[in-house]
Amino acid sequence: MATNGTNRPFVVSDSYMTSPDEGDTVSTPIPPFTPVEPTYQAQPLVAPEKKRNRGSLMFAGFVVTGLVAGAAGGAVGFIAARESFPAATSVTSTSVFADSPSLPANGSIADVAAAVQPAVVQLDVNGAEGEGTGSGFIISDDGYIITNNHVAGSAKEDGINVLFADGSQAKGKLVGANAGYDLAVVKVDKTGLKTVPLGKSSTLRVGDSVIALGSPLGLQGTVTSGIVSSLNRPVTAGDESFINAIQTDAAINPGNSGGPLVNGNGAVVGVNSAIASLATGAGEAGSIGLGFSIPIDTAKRIADEIIKTGSAATPVIGVQLAMSFEGPGAKVSTVTKGGAADRAGIQVGDVISKINSQVISDGTQLIVTVRSFAPGDRVQLTIKRGDQTLTLPLNLTASKS
């Protein structure tokens, strides 16, 4: 569901889109579409396993699950890329995040890359869906690493091998993951590690320079650069992940997932998570300058909760949405009894048109906007009920799932 020239969300899904949380479950079938040339094929990818043969680079086949995406003017494919992420909010004083190392102030790309690379790692993962390669970045000197859920979330016991920039290796352990945010934390039993500072994605502007680091297609130590192309882009990748994304034209490819997107000072502003791609066949998709990163303000909160508790809460408002409703706005089909929306006075049939000042185009945008907040945050919902326009305060609650 994407319309040209608007900020309407791109959606990747199979026949159904279902959020994992009771407060924002989507269970309405997405209508079939008639592709218009050019056709974009939607398929999430796991980066290929790297064959370690001297003298040549050989790659195993991609692990592919076919999905369907509807769009006005063509289907848009989003490919889970196993790569980088945006900046950070404040956390409690007990946070494990290390103090920022000294980095160049608006240095050259080479300066920033040299400063950040020691904290970027490659993750070779043996998971439930096969073997693949992703990226991550070190946030504490005692071994905590942020990456994507689709990189490490389904890893088998002893199935994560971490490759550091200096050539050393260590076994990684999955601390926890949140599929809805496509985030995971991995821990290695090492100390004295180089870390990367976390910036603030809330201060990004369209046109800001950014740099992506990671291991696309298993090519460790790769650096690409570009700009912030758009902000607050509603993106879904797979059945569960709803991302209020930073869009960038820095080249991001399968294997970059979980790696950092950094600003000109070398501070992380995003976690690279998905790409849009013109896919001509299974395993043939690559960057076309449409990459998407999870804002670090969100990622830091989720990672900090995972480190402290092993899991992270997802904020919900306590409704189900009629995803077949084309908007503008998100139409409520069910209100959870006793939930936040019920207490706020939301009714079946209401159309949510704004959260605070953010205009809501449809159900997907409502979900990603809600997930940009934290449980306990108080928001203002603008509701259209027949001929009435109402403003209702609501306290977001945590998902029970």
Q: Which of 21, 182, 304, 350 is catalytic?
A: 182
Q: Look up tokens 């006005």; give the residue.
A: 72
Report whether 150 contacts 130 (CB < 8 A).
Answer: no
The region, left, alpha or beta by phi > 0 then psi within -120 to 50, assigned to residue 309 is alpha
Report whether 196 contacts 266 (CB < 8 A).
Answer: yes
Report whether 1 contacts 8 (CB < 8 A).
Answer: yes
The region, left, alpha or beta by phi > 0 then psi within -120 to 50, assigned to residue 180 is alpha
If you write DSSP's letter for every residue of 57-118 in order, what string do you get? -EEPPPEE---B---TTS---EEE-BB-EE------TT--PPPPPP--TT--HHHHHHHHGG
Q: Which of 150, 215, 241, 293 is catalytic?
A: 150
Residue 154: CB atoms within 10 A of its CB come to 19
CA gap 303, 88 in Å, rounded: 10
CA gap 393, 354 in Å, rounded: 12
Reply yes or no on whether 142 is catalytic: no
Interacting residues of 363 by C-beta distance below 8 A, sequence separation 6+: 26, 321, 322, 323, 325, 330, 331
Q: Which of 201, 225, 257, 333 is catalytic?
A: 257
Reply yes or no on whether 350 is catalytic: no
Reply yes or no on whether 273 is catalytic: no
HSE-CB at 217 with a 13 A cutoff on CA atoms is 13
CA gap 127, 215 in Å, rounded: 18
Enter the tokens of residue 353: 């048109």
Amino acid (one-letter) located at 281: G
Report whether 362 contacts 329 (CB < 8 A).
Answer: yes
Q: What kind and span of H or E run contains 364? A: helix 363-370
If you write DSSP's letter for every residue of 283-315 in order, what string do you get? T----SS-EEEEEHHHHHHHHHHHHHHSS---E
Q: Look up residue 347 and give its DSSP letter.
A: -
Active site residues: 150, 182, 257
